[in-house]
Amino acid sequence: MTIRLASDLSTDSIVDGPGIRTVIWTQGCAHNCPGCHNPGTHSMSRGVVVDVEEIKDVLDEIEGQDGITFSGGDPLYQIDPVIELAKYIKSTKKMNIWVYSGFTYEEIISMPRGKELLETVDCLVDGKFMMERRSLDLLFRGSDNQRVIDTRQSLKKGKVVLIEKYMKKKDITPLYKKDEDIFV
Ligand code: SF4
């Protein structure tokens, strides 16, 4: 089985979920969100096609990471290899897995194998990026329509369960209160 990637895996990310994470950048996305920060990942024919066994070998070598994130592009266009890799990660590394998608939870759960994907991962950040709802104060998401979803709890309860602590705005503690405080 193969997967089309936009680039090599990157390690030590601190913006694609909590902790220090390795990101798997899938290639291909048809959502066309205006203002997308990653337009080079949209083409379904660009990037590189890699055997998932090669990615498993790379994952075996990584150390010092708290979790794995599938981003892109939209990983849901390649649900079969994403499930294959997510199951491998769970069986070997026992790390938490986050998935970013322009599809909503409700759309994903009705896709072929959508429920299986949601059962395999821990968190879904769902929905298209909306420029008019963009905010720099958000944790792990670009616009406030997007939801940070606890996939296991959502499946258990039969409705979307948010991870509230990650839906809050960033706790930005001012380094100084007044201009004159900068130099004291
Ligand atoms: S879903 Fe993500 S990658 Fe796709 S167009 Fe929207 S912001 Fe860009």
Domains, the chain: 2-183 (3.20.20.70)
Query: HSE-up of 15 (CA within 13 Å, CB side)?
Result: 6
| Minimum CA distance residue for ligand 1 atom 3 | 73
The DSSP letter of residue 120 is: H
Residues 6+ apart with CB under 8 A from 151: 105, 118, 119, 121, 122, 123, 124
Ligand 1 geometric centre to CA of 29 (Å): 6
| Minimum CA distance residue for ligand 1 atom 6 | 33
Q: What is the pLDDT of residue 117?
A: 98
b/e string for 23-54 if b means 16 or more Cβ within 10 A? bbbbbbbebebeebeeeebbeeeebeebebee
Ligand 1 geometric centre to CA of 38 (Å): 7
Distances in whole angstroms, Cα of residue 58 to Cα of each of 50, 93, 95, 107: 12, 12, 15, 31
Q: What is the pLDDT of residue 55?
A: 98
Please state the atom number of ligand 1 nearest to the C-alpha of residue 101: 1
Q: What is the pLDDT of residue 83?
A: 98
Q: What is the pLDDT of residue 176?
A: 53
For 71, the enclosing helix (H) or strand (E) is strand 67-71
Ligand 1 geometric centre to CA of 74 (Å): 7
Q: Is the pTM of this model over 0.95?
A: no
Do 149 and 121 touch, CB atoms closer than 8 A?
Answer: no
Q: What is the pLDDT of residue 182?
A: 57
The DSSP letter of residue 43 is: -
Q: What is the pLDDT of residue 179?
A: 58
Q: 48-51 and 10-13: which strand pairing? A: unpaired
The burial class, CB within 10 Å (0-12 / 13-18 / 19+), for 56 is: middle
The burial class, CB within 10 Å (0-12 / 13-18 / 19+), for 82 is: buried
Ligand 1 neighbours by CB, cut-off 6 Å: 29, 31-33, 36, 38, 41, 72-74, 102, 128-129
Please report, as a single letter, which amino acid is at residue 101.
S
| Minimum CA distance residue for ligand 1 atom 7 | 36
Cα–Cα dist 101/8, whole Å = 19
Q: What is the pLDDT along the chain (184 residues), one digit of tens a residue?
A: 999 999 999 999 999 999 999 999 999 999 999 999 999 999 999 999 999 999 999 999 999 999 999 999 999 999 999 999 999 999 998 899 999 999 999 999 999 999 999 999 999 999 999 999 999 999 999 999 999 999 999 999 999 999 999 998 876 655 555 556 555 5
Please state the atom number of ligand 1 nearest to the C-alpha of residue 142: 7
Q: Which of 24, 26, 38 to mutate to test the pocket of ligand 1 (most atoms within 8 A of CB)?
A: 38
